[in-house]
Structures are given as C-alpha cells and as structure tokens.
Amino acid sequence: MLSIIVPSYNEQESLPIFYKEITAVIQNMDTDYELLFINDGSKDRTLEILKSLADQDSHVKYFSFSRNFGKEAAVYAGFCNIHGDYAAVMDADLQDPPSLLPQMLDILKSGAYDSVATRRADRSGEPPIRSWFARKFYQIINKISDADIVDGARDFRMMKREMVDVIISMSEYNRFSKGIFGWVGFRTYWLSYENVERVAGETKWNFWKLFRYAMDGIVNFSQAPLSIASWFGIGMTFCSFLLLLGIIIRKMLFGDPVAGWASTICTIIFIGGMQMLCLGIMGQYIAKIYLETKGRPHFIISETNCEDAARVK
Ligand code: UDP
Ligand code: MG
C-alpha cells in the first residue's frame, strides 16, 4: 500500500483540483493507496472540503490540527499516521506533479533504492535575488554541516516504510526535513523536473520567512557558527599582542605623545559589536535547547476520520 501525505494550509482552491489529478494517476497504478490530508489550522474552507472528499471516497483520511503548527509538523503527523509500505509527501498545490508517482514507485519496488527524492531542474518563475540567496544558503550549509542538502531539492519524496520509521524516531522539536532526509542517509535516487507554478491560491512563504527557515536549517544541522566566537577570540588576542609589541617599541624609540582617542573608541565599538554578535549566535542555540527540553508535542489533532490516529505526538 502507498500512503500519500498532503500538508494543507488554506488550500481551498487547490484541493479539489489536486484530488482529481492524484486520483486519476493513482487509480491507474497497480497499488492500494490512502490519501492523508493534514489540515494545518486553515482559516478558509479547507476542512469542509476535506470532509466532503472523505464522505465520497474511503481512501481519503483527514487530520485536522487544533491550530497552525507549520508544514514540518504536518508532515510529521502524516508520517506518524501512515498504514502503507511506501509513503510519499506532496504539496497540495500541484507543484509536485502526481504524474511522477508511478515512476517513483517502480524505482522503489526494483529494490535498488530506499527513497526517491526530487529536485527542480531550474528556478524559473522565482525572483533572481531569492535564487541568489537560496544558492548561497545551500553552498554554506553543505560546507558547515554533515547533512547532505541538495540545491533545489523539493520536499516531494517517496520512501520505504523502514526509512519512515527512522524519521519518526527522530523526534526533535525543531524539524528541518530537508536536513533530516539527508542526515538519515539510505540509498536515494534523484529525479529532476522543470519548475511548475502553483495551480491556485498563494504561496505561504515570503522572503523573511524563507530567511528564518534557512537560519533554522543552519542552526539545526551545524555547530560551526558557535565556533566563530572562539576563532574570533583567538584572532583578537593575537592582534592585540602584536599591537602591544608595537606600542612598546614606539615608546622606546619616540617617547609617548598622547593621542588617538578616536581609534580607541572605534576599537571598543567594534569589539562590543562582535561580542553582541557572538552572544546572539549562542542565544539562537540556547533558544533551540529551551524549546527542545520542554518536550512539547509537535502537533495536536482535534478532528479526524481515522480511528486509530495518533492525535498528539
Ligand atoms: N503548508 C502547511 N502549513 C503551513 C504552510 C504551508 O501545511 O504553515 C503546506 C501548503 O498547504 C502546501 C505546502 O505546505 O501544501 C507548501 O506550501 P507552499 O506551496 O505555500 O510553499 P512553496 O511551494 O511556495 O514553497
Ligand atoms: Mg507550493
């Protein structure tokens, strides 16, 4: 059986189209299936639409969150509630073409791979400045962390149950799926496809949200920023030692003309700024530790048509 996980947040326009397309594709596939829709606290008619789909079609299961927990939580809730031997994650806006599903399932069934991941072949239809930041992000994170994160990778994936179980067992509160998928390893096949625009509705990401997401990715998968502070400290100590030598030599050769408060102030401000930056970096990590130690659930399901659902986890 194939379980398809669809996080949905304010997707009233896209969902009916998505449902039609995916059903058309999947009915021609030689497999039993279930569609798991996670309503991530939508403020529009998403839940009503899901309920009416579930009434017509017993393959449809919906899980409705008590509020918006974010896409990562929605995907996690999906993983926790699958019944299939294979699981796929897809967006509700048809940016992940259902037509790839048969090919993905064949690759997994052949036994040579444990997961099939997808990446965009290009970034067309995206503002150039965003593409630039995105490319830089992937360069940096791959240098400073051991999670192998592929540029242009989408969250559209299909994987075997074994891999899903491992992902469920990684119950960290701050989730960054792209990093987690890479970190767990397994044999992954990469499929490329052309970028597709969303069919209806609007993207839930703006530049600032994406920037924070990128920062989360770095802080969750790398300790490198923490060591910036120590390297900087070592560098400063070395410089000040040289400076001290210089001052002593100057004093001995030319005496001591008092001057230079401007340079003193500049140095103080500079070092103050650097200290603040380093404190900020540490603060980022401490905030994550704080959230992690509280051990709060990732999601709370308030309504579902699935009796054996894990409602809180
Ligand atoms: N999504 C979600 N919770 C959120 C934001 C988004 O479940 O808080 C879902 C959304 O409904 C969609 C998927 O995540 O199915 C991807 O969102 P979107 O298309 O806005 O992102 P983009 O494709 O622009 O990166
Ligand atoms: Mg989208």
What CATH number has the domain bearing residue 38? 3.90.550.10
9 Cβ inside 6 Å of ligand 1: yes
Ligand 1 site-directed mutation target among 5, 6, 8, 9, most atoms within 8 Å of CB:
9
pLDDT of residue 257 exceeding 80, the answer is no
Alpha carbon distance 20, 33 (integer Å): 15
Alpha carbon distance 181, 177 (integer Å): 6
72 Cβ inside 6 Å of ligand 1: no
pLDDT, tens digit (0-9, with 9 covering 90-100), for 121-149: 777 777 888 888 888 888 888 888 877 78
Mean pLDDT score, 217-240 = 83
Is the residue at 309 inside a domain?
no
Ligand 1 site-directed mutation target among 204, 213, 216, most atoms within 8 Å of CB:
204
CA 93–ligand 1 middle distance (angstroms): 8
Mean pLDDT score, 185-194 = 87
Beta bridge partners of 47: none
If asked whether residues 106 and 134 sit together in one domain, one would say: yes
Mean pLDDT score, 28-38 = 91
Alpha carbon distance 19, 223 (integer Å): 42
Q: Which residue shows structure tokens 């194939």?
A: 2
Is the residue at 311 inside a domain?
no
120 Cβ inside 6 Å of ligand 1: no
CA 207–ligand 2 middle distance (angstroms): 14
If asked whether residues 64 and 110 sit together in one domain, one would say: yes
Mean pLDDT score, 263-284 = 83
- Provide the pLDDT for residue 205: 81
If asked whether residues 189 and 233 sit together in one domain, one would say: no
Task: Kindly compute the dihedral angle of the four CA atoms of residues 284, 290, 292, 294, in this order, to the nearest 10 degrees.
Answer: -160
- Kindly report whether the global pTM for this prediction surpasses the value 0.85: no
Contacting residues for 51 by C-beta, under 8 A, at least 6 apart = 62, 305
Is the residue at 252 inside a domain?
yes
pLDDT of residue 152 exceeding 90, the answer is no
If asked whether residues 47 and 174 sit together in one domain, one would say: yes
- Provide the pLDDT for residue 172: 87
If asked whether residues 188 and 244 sit together in one domain, one would say: no
CA 241–ligand 2 middle distance (angstroms): 54
pLDDT of residue 296 exceeding 90, the answer is no
If asked whether residues 213 and 115 sit together in one domain, one would say: yes
Sequence length of the chain is 313
Q: How many CA atoms lie within 13 A of 20 on its CB side?
A: 6
Sign of CA dihedral 20, 76, 209, 196: negative
Mean pLDDT score, 86-94 = 92
Mean pLDDT score, 42-51 = 92
Q: Which H or E element spans position 25?
A: helix 14-27
Between 260 and 272, name the one with better pLDDT: 272
If asked whether residues 271 and 160 sit together in one domain, one would say: no
- Laid out side by side, the sheet with 2-8 consists of 188-193, 115-120, 153-160, 86-89, 2-8, 33-39, 60-65, 301-304
Q: Are 61 and 34 in contact (CB under 8 A)?
A: yes
Count up the domains in the chain and report the number.
2
With bands split at pLDDT 50, 70 and 90, how would you rate the model's confidence at 245?
confident
- Provide the pLDDT for residue 159: 94
Ligand 1 site-directed mutation target among 15, 93, 124, 202, most atoms within 8 Å of CB:
93
pLDDT of residue 217 exceeding 90, the answer is no
- Provide the pLDDT for residue 288: 85
CA 12–ligand 1 middle distance (angstroms): 13
Mean pLDDT score, 12-23 = 92
Sign of CA dihedral 140, 145, 146, 148: negative
- Provide the pLDDT for residue 131: 84
Beta bridge partners of 33: 2
Question: Phi and psi at residue 79, in whole multiples of 5°?
Answer: -55, -40
70 Cβ inside 6 Å of ligand 1: yes
If asked whether residues 155 and 189 sit together in one domain, one would say: yes
Residue 94 belongs to domain spanning? 2-222+296-304
Q: Which residue minimizes the CA distance to atom 5 of ligand 1? A: 71
Between 257 and 199, name the one with better pLDDT: 199
If asked whether residues 196 and 251 sit together in one domain, one would say: no
Span of 98-102, 104-108, 264-268 with lowest mean pLDDT: 264-268
Q: Are 43 and 10 in contact (CB under 8 A)?
A: yes
CA 204–ligand 1 middle distance (angstroms): 6
Alpha carbon distance 76, 169 (integer Å): 10
